[in-house]
Structure 1
Amino acid sequence: MQFVFDLDGTICFKGRPISEPLVLAIDKLIAAGHDVIFASARPIRDMMPVVHEKYRGRLWIGGNGSLASGGGAAEHVHAFPAEQLEQILQLIRQHEATYLIDSDWDYAYTGAADHPILNNLDTLGLARNVALESLERIVKVLILTASDIESLNEKLLALDVVVHRHGNERILDISPQNVHKWTALQKAGVQPKQFVAFGNDANDISMFREALHSVRIGEHPGLGEYASDSIPLEGDYESDIVRKIEELAVQYAAVR
């Protein structure tokens, strides 16, 4: 069976790497013959600090599906079309927005010097913060602040792009249309109802819909109707996640 894991808020917490107990649980999954895939909103560059290097040969989906890698560097890249990107940039200028804009590796950042997002941004120093016009293939746009964030959100939705709002954050997470975790998994050969998904947020809905079994971490309401199981972030929740992984490893042991 293929097991697909989101990262932040699902198997890694507070920006820290996947903990040793969860790494051991994943190792046991692999030893039992299951395949493991990581699918994150982070670009590949920012997945590397939190996912153990032993997993770099496995499939990584980054940027909510705009990037895919089998060995630690972006191999599949789905960027914004040039005309659509120019419309987005025009709206950014109109709304005096600050942003984090990602290419397949480098990025452009105009947010505050103490913004919390910097805690997870290129912590290994692998990329460069460059001028926006220097980025060739833009795959993801995060709007951090704007003069009118709600108006900007409405105008972005009219451009036929994918916009996620994460939890209670006012950040707008923008991806090209028809680019999400499930489309990237499909391109990699993953079949509907042939995988188990673990996730915690709106950007996991696309793969939860297609999973044979799905595990919601936390209480995001949009995931609830698609979740087979839910694990609240209460008490020793990492141990609860480990137990669920072990349980499902046995439940789907005969499914390859």
Structure 2
Amino acid sequence: MIRCMAVDLDDTLLRSDLTLSDGDKGAIRRAIAAGVKVLIASGRMIRAMRPYVEELELDVPLIAYNGALIQEAVSGRVLYQRPVPPEEARRLIDLFREAGIHLNAYIRDELYMDRLTVWGERYAVNAGVEPHPVGDLKQFLEEPSPKLLGVGEPEAIDRIQERLRLEFGARLQFVKSKPTYLEILAPGVSKGLALAELAGLWGLDRSEVMAVGDAPNDLSMIEWAGVGVAIGNAWPGVKERADLVVADHDHDGVAEAIRRAIFGEPS
């Protein structure tokens, strides 16, 4: 029996126009009414998640920054955090400048960057947050950032991902959330580990948990959960490793997952 459901936002719960469908919202409310804990697990910062949390009236913790932060939705109390060490973040800034690839950092849930590039502006618009171009990002990294994010052309992201893996080894993780987004995380950070942490706090077995996502950064929770669901527009490798594949994010895929996995109804 599913008692907890974790769902990714971008390209999973959110449609192409970054809105929630009535079908998905209705299914989520039905699941909550049945006693299921429904939570969002996203690579987004907290402030970029909040409008959707409020629209869905969720009052459970949020998994943000790809699992680097777990924070209660209403009180804002931090339950868990594991940021990128500042010394590693400063080294990354030089490497991204050298490669000519935009880099985001996040301090106290604010978005910082060297300068407002086309990529930085696109990201800020998509996330619905105000960017802070500061000239020299290194000056703002005395405090740890939950993650850093490289944003650029897919080919450039592929190249720097391979270079960073060779240079940093196991000291950092590098995972894509979109072809143009490279998430940079501390070791041991993932949506799956964060979800396991919450399930443990709630006394839930993994067999009682469902996770829904689309991208490589969702794989950890899809594989950990008792029922791992790939949305219809998911990356091929995600679909291959999911227990269930449903309709895409523009056609109420999350609602289908809820009907089939939680209520045992046909697709």
Distance in 1, Cα, partners of 2:152 & 2:28: 37
Where structure 1 has 5 or more consecutive residues not aligned to the other structure, the ranges are none
Q: Between the two proteins, what is the percent identity of the paired residues?
A: 24
Cα distance 1:100–1:70, how it changes in 2: closer, same or farther (>3 A)?
Answer: same
CA contact (8 A) 2:211 2:221 kept: yes
CA contact (8 A) 2:85 2:144 kept: no
CA contact (8 A) 1:25 1:245 kept: yes
C-alpha RMSD of the superposition: 2.7
Question: Structure 1 length as normaliser, TM-score?
Answer: 0.84
Cα distance 1:162–1:151, how it changes in 2: closer, same or farther (>3 A)?
Answer: same
CA contact (8 A) 1:103 1:140 kept: no
Distance in 2, Cα, partners of 1:79 & 1:41: 13
Instruction: Tell me the equivalent position of 2:248.
Output: 233
* Alpha-carbon offset, residue 111 of structure 1: 4.2
What letter is aligned with 2:236?
P
CA contact (8 A) 2:43 2:177 kept: no
Distance in 2, Cα, partners of 1:241 & 1:182: 18
* Alpha-carbon offset, residue 62 of structure 1: 0.6
Where structure 2 has 5 or more consecutive residues not aligned to the other structure, the ranges are none
Distance in 1, Cα, partners of 2:105 & 2:220: 23
1:41-80 matches, within 5 Å, as 41-53=43-55, 55-72=57-74, 73=76, 75=78, 76-80=80-84
1:158-237 matches, within 5 Å, as 158=166, 159=168, 160=170, 161-167=172-178, 169-190=179-200, 191-217=205-231, 218-233=233-248, 237=251
**1:137 paired residue among 144, 147, 167:** 144
Matched, 1:102 2:109: no
User: What SS does the corresponding residue of 1:237 show, helix, strand or coil?
Assistant: coil
Instruction: Tell me the equivalent position of 1:112.
Output: 117
**1:11 paired residue among 1, 5, 13:** 13
User: What SS does the corresponding residue of 1:120 show, helix, strand or coil?
Assistant: helix
Aligned residues: 246
Deviates most, 129-138 or 223-232? 129-138
Answer 1 or 2: which has greater helix percent. 2
Instruction: Tell me the equivalent position of 1:156.
Output: 164
Distance in 1, Cα, partners of 2:180 & 2:55: 32
What letter is aligned with 2:164?
L
